[in-house]
Structures are given as C-alpha cells and as structure tokens.
Amino acid sequence: MAVNTLVLSVSTAIYLAVVIVLAYVGYKKTKKADDYLIAGRSISPIILALSYGATFISTSAIIGFGGLAGYMGMGLIWLTVLNIGIGIFIAFVFFGKKTREIGHKLGAVTFPDLMGKIYKSEFLRNASGLIIIVGMPLYTAAILIGGARFIETTLSVPYNTALIGFAIVVVAYVIIGGLIAVMYTDAMQGTLMAIGMSILLVLTYIKLGGVSEAHSALTSLSHLTPSSLASAGQVGWTSMPSLGSPLWYTLVTTIILGVGIGVLAQPQLIVRFMTVKDNRSLNRAVLVGGPFIILMTGVAFTVGALTNVYFQNTTGQIAIEAAGGNIDSIMPTYINAAMPDILIVLLMLVLLSAAMSTLSSLLHTMGSTLGHDLWHKANNKEASLRTSQKGTLLMMIVSVLLAYMLPISIIARATAMFMGLCASAFLPSFVMGLYSKNPSKTAAKTSLITGAVVWFAWTAFVHIKESGPLGISQALFGKATLLDMPWPVVDPLMLALPLSTAALVVVWLLERKRIAPQTKESMDAN
C-alpha cells in the first residue's frame, strides 16, 4: 500500500483504543445474563440502526459484491432495492415490531429461545440452535479470512498473525462487554463506514467528470465485455444480463433474491429487535437504517461498476483485467490507485469496521446459542453470564479452526450459503410465529425440516457453485451436479423456500381440518 505506514499504524491504534473504551463501557453496563444477551432491552434507536446496518454489511458486501459489480455491472443495484425495502423497511416495520413485542412478552433473549417459546417446543429451540451452531461458523470463518487477508495486505502483517490477532481482539470485546459492547462498537464502526463510503462516491464522480458523464462513459464500454462474460449473457456494465442466461440466473436468484430475502431470517439481526424498549425506537431506527444501507451497498455497487471507466481511462484495461483477474481485488486496487492517501486510511478503517462489526455479532449469536439455548436448557439451568461467555470463546475457536481447514472455494460461498439456509429453514415458521394467533407447532417443525433438507440436497447435488467444491455428488454419483441447465445455476433458496412455505401451509390446513370436526363433536356432546 502506498500510504505512510506510520499514519496507518497510528490511525489503527486510535481506532482500536476507541474499541477498547467502548468495550469497557459495555463491561460496566453488563451485570447479568440479560445485559449480555440482549443489551438489557435498553439500546437507543440510532445505535440499533447503525449496529443492525453494520452487522448486515460485512467487508464482503463492499469488497466482494462491489468487485462483482465491477465484473457484472450495475444490475446489482436490485440487491440494494431489496436490502432497503426488505432488509430495512419490512424487517423493522413488520417483523421488528412483532419480534420485539412477542420477545418481550415471552421473555425471549435469543432467536432459538424466541422460536422455542412461541411454539412451546424444545425441538424448535434445539433445531434452530443446531442450525446456527453448524451453519454460522462457516460464515464466521469467511469473515475471519476476509478480515485477516485485508489486514495482511494493508498493514503488512503475516497472515497467521493477522487472523489470530483479529480473532483475539474481537472475541475479547464480545466476552467482556456482551451485546452492549458489540452494539456500541458497531455504531462507531457504522458511522465510520457511512462517512467513508459517502466520500468514496463523491470523489469517484468528481474523478470521472460528473454523474451523467461517468455513467455514459461506462455505457460506451459495452463493446469491451470479455467474450467469456458475453457468452454467459453480459451485455454491458449499465445493463442487466440477457434474460434467462446463466449470468442472469446467478444475478437474480443467488445474489439479488438469495441475499435480499435471506436477511429476514438472520438470527444475529433478529435478536437486535429485542434490544429496544419500545416500538418508537424501531420507528426512529428506520429513518437511519434506509440511508445507511444505500450508502453502503448502493455506493459499493455503483463505484464498483464505475471502476471500469477509471481503469479504462488510466490503464486502458477494464476493471477485472486491472485487478489481475481477481474480483475481490477490484475495489482495493481502485481505492489504492484513485483515492488520496488520507481517504485510503479512512477506507481501510471502514473495511476493518465492516469485518469487525459482522464478526462480533456472529460470535455473540453463536456463543449465546451454545451457552444459553443448548447447554443451559439441556441442563435445566437458569441463564448465566459465564456460560454464554464460554460459549462465545468456544465458537471462536471452532471458527478459527474452520478458517484453516476448509477449502477457499467453500469459504467464498459461505455468506450466500448461510443466508439461504436461514431463510429456507426459519422464514416460514418465523413469520407464522409472529403473525398467527394459534401457530401450529407441527407445521413449524415440518417447514423447518423441509427447508433445511431441501436446501442441503440442492446445495450438495445440484447447485454447481457449491456441489462442485463440496464433492459429495461427485463421490456418490460420479458427477458434480445431477441436473441439466438451467437448474445447476438456480440457487437452493429458490426451491427450498417455496417448499418449506408449502409444507407449513399444507400441514397447518390439515391440522385445522382435523381439529375442526373434533371441536364440533365436543360442542355437540356438550
């Protein structure tokens, strides 16, 4: 990196000092298990919105998906539409209020606890907990690797030191200060992210001669689309891919719908709705959340696509060529080449913030699930602060081990995989639990099992991006995918979510039919 190492080191030290201060504030305010698990239900709306947004947006949303926009074009803006419309508006206004009210009434402190209490079902609590414990470490390992690689390249720290150091700093503040420290640091990190991304957008347009000029220049580059991309359906960086092409399926089903809908059933986000004392806080958080998200993904996807114009003007190459063929290098290469030194430092802290805020929240969710929902409940004990802290430490160790053990091809898919699994398994039963006066336990169980099983089967045997690296289909049937096009490019969520929803509706209707005659008979007998 071109920036002075001293400036970078001092900025990072100041940043870490602020994190330590906020962790200490969290520590002072964390007296009992409720404080650790749901921040004592007394978080302010602005902190909620920034924390929710900063958790929602990981480094991969900026670097990975921003780079993807540099590769595939501005079609990713539809993910921003869903991020704001579903991930903020519907999530807060409809899901958030109900979650808060029901969570408060039932005294729920985690997502599995909420599911278990709504349905009065140990199975649903344990199954939700297990899905989190099994699926989330993969996502956590991906965030850890992303953060460590980033620290390695920007601060010139060896990879192993970066990974272990990053893990220790985050696990320390989660254990010491619980969800209060997590949300306070998230809010500080979210503020940095909003400032950094705003400046990035403005400077990019200035560098490219204005808004319309930059877009027109990008439109005029369509003839430079690489032949491999053109044959997959790409028609330029300011157009959607051809309808029904492999690129269109990937963009629409995996990226836009998979990630856009998946956010509604993320346990680490749902628990945040239970941290505020009233619905007024959620109303106020919407005002901050919407603009925050457009500043994150909206800016990343726009700037990502526009890097093609910058690199064309300066090097005569398109973005993916300038980044050496690596999508994840497009945004860092652009930032290092085009931005002034001081902004490079700020953006480095933005990316560190994005990684830390997501990592701390995942860690907290896994730790509280293991400690509170699985261990404590299995032993019939009251929630204790110590067990959740031990759970957090143990889950960090598991995630670090996974980061070393799993092939990078699987890690690269971890974010989309985890979001897809959560939506397929949890979303229908979670919606029913929030909105039905008499939610059916059997319907919820059937839906959760159907969603998880179908998602896994499609992931392991059909969706080529996962079935290939996983190798299960290859080992059992001698081929990476069992179906022909277009199925191998259709995301598992597209099948698993409709089927888990259908399972819920069918079982619920059958149960109603069975109960109705019984009720009538008992009324007749009376």
Partner 1 sequence: MLGIADPQIWIGYLLAVGLTLLCIIYGAINWNKGDENDGS
Least distance to partner 1, CB of residue 236, Å: 8
The number of residues in the chain equals: 526
Give 277 or 381: the residue with its C-beta nearer to partner 1: 277
Least distance to partner 1, CB of residue 437, Å: 18
Q: Is residue 40 a contact point for partner 1 (CB under 8 A)?
A: no
77 burial (CB, 10 Å; 0-12 / 13-18 / 19+) is middle
**Binder of partner 1 out of 47, 69, 193, 218 (CB under 8 A):** 218
Query: Looking only at residues 77 through 96 of this chain, which bind partner 1 when binding is defined by CB under 8 A?
Result: 77-78, 80-81, 84-85, 88-89, 93
DSSP single-letter state for residue 242: P
CA 406 to mean position of chain CA atoms: 19
Q: Is residue 441 a contact point for partner 1 (CB under 8 A)?
A: no
Give 32 or 280: the residue with its C-beta nearer to partner 1: 280
Q: Answer for the pair 392, 366: CB distance below 8 angstroms, yes or no.
A: yes
> DSSP secondary structure string, 493-515?
HHHHHHHHHHHHHHHHHHHHHHH
Cα 357 from Cα 362, distance rounded (Å): 9
**Binder of partner 1 out of 103, 258, 290, 428 (CB under 8 A):** 290
Q: Is residue 279 a contact point for partner 1 (CB under 8 A)?
A: yes
Q: Is residue 122 a contact point for partner 1 (CB under 8 A)?
A: no
Taking residue 192's Cβ as centre, other Cβ atoms within 10 Å add up to: 22
DSSP single-letter state for residue 438: S
Please report, for the chain, how many H helices and E strands are present, in that order. Answer: 28, 0
Give 97 or 377: the residue with its C-beta nearer to partner 1: 97
Give 272 or 413: the residue with its C-beta nearer to partner 1: 272
**Binder of partner 1 out of 11, 12, 219, 442 (CB under 8 A):** 219
Give 24 or 89: the residue with its C-beta nearer to partner 1: 89
Cα 368 from Cα 331, distance rounded (Å): 35
- Judged by CB under 8 A, the stretch of 59-67, 265-273, 275-283, 390-398 that binds partner 1 is 275-283
101-116 residues labelled b (16+ CB within 10 A) or e (exposed) = ebbbeeebbbbbbbbb
Q: Which residues contact 352 (CB under 8 A, 6 or more apart)?
A: 12, 15, 147, 150, 151
Give 84 or 108: the residue with its C-beta nearer to partner 1: 84
Cα 311 from Cα 470, distance rounded (Å): 36
Write 389-392 long-range contacts (CB < 8 A, 24+).
389/36, 389/175, 391/366, 391/367, 392/171, 392/174, 392/175, 392/363, 392/364, 392/366, 392/367, 392/368
Q: Answer for the pair 325, 228: CB distance below 8 angstroms, yes or no.
A: no
Write each residue from 172 to 211 as x if it is in contact with partner 1 (CB under 8 A), else as -, in one continuous string: ---------------------------------------x
**Binder of partner 1 out of 30, 154, 238, 329 (CB under 8 A):** 238
**Binder of partner 1 out of 191, 283, 384, 474 (CB under 8 A):** 283
> DSSP secondary structure string, 30-77?
--SHHHHHHGGG---HHHHHHHHHHHHS-HIIIIIHHHHHHHH-GGGH
**Binder of partner 1 out of 127, 181, 285, 431 (CB under 8 A):** 285
Least distance to partner 1, CB of residue 100, Å: 10
Give 305 or 448: the residue with its C-beta nearer to partner 1: 305
Least distance to partner 1, CB of residue 334, Å: 19
Least distance to partner 1, CB of residue 221, Å: 12
Least distance to partner 1, CB of residue 278, Å: 4
**Binder of partner 1 out of 278, 404, 505, 519 (CB under 8 A):** 278
Give 276 or 460: the residue with its C-beta nearer to partner 1: 276
Dihedral of the alpha carbons of 68, 71, 77, 82, in degrees to the nearest 10? -30
Give 216 or 384: the residue with its C-beta nearer to partner 1: 216
Q: Is residue 212 a contact point for partner 1 (CB under 8 A)?
A: yes
Tell me: cis bond preceding 486? Omega within 30 of 0 counts: yes
By rule CB under 8 A, what count of residues binds partner 1?
A: 43
**Binder of partner 1 out of 8, 127, 144, 288 (CB under 8 A):** 288
Looking at this protein, which amino acid is placed at residue 501? T
Q: Is residue 216 a contact point for partner 1 (CB under 8 A)?
A: yes
Q: Answer for the pair 47, 289: CB distance below 8 angstroms, yes or no.
A: no
Give 96 or 262: the residue with its C-beta nearer to partner 1: 96
Q: Is residue 286 a contact point for partner 1 (CB under 8 A)?
A: yes
Q: Is residue 106 a contact point for partner 1 (CB under 8 A)?
A: no
Q: Is 463 left (phi over 0), alpha (psi -120 to 50) or beta?
A: beta
Q: Give the footprint of partner 1 on this chain (CB under 8 A).
A: 74-75, 77-78, 80-81, 84-85, 88-89, 93, 97, 211-219, 236, 238-240, 277-291, 293-294, 298
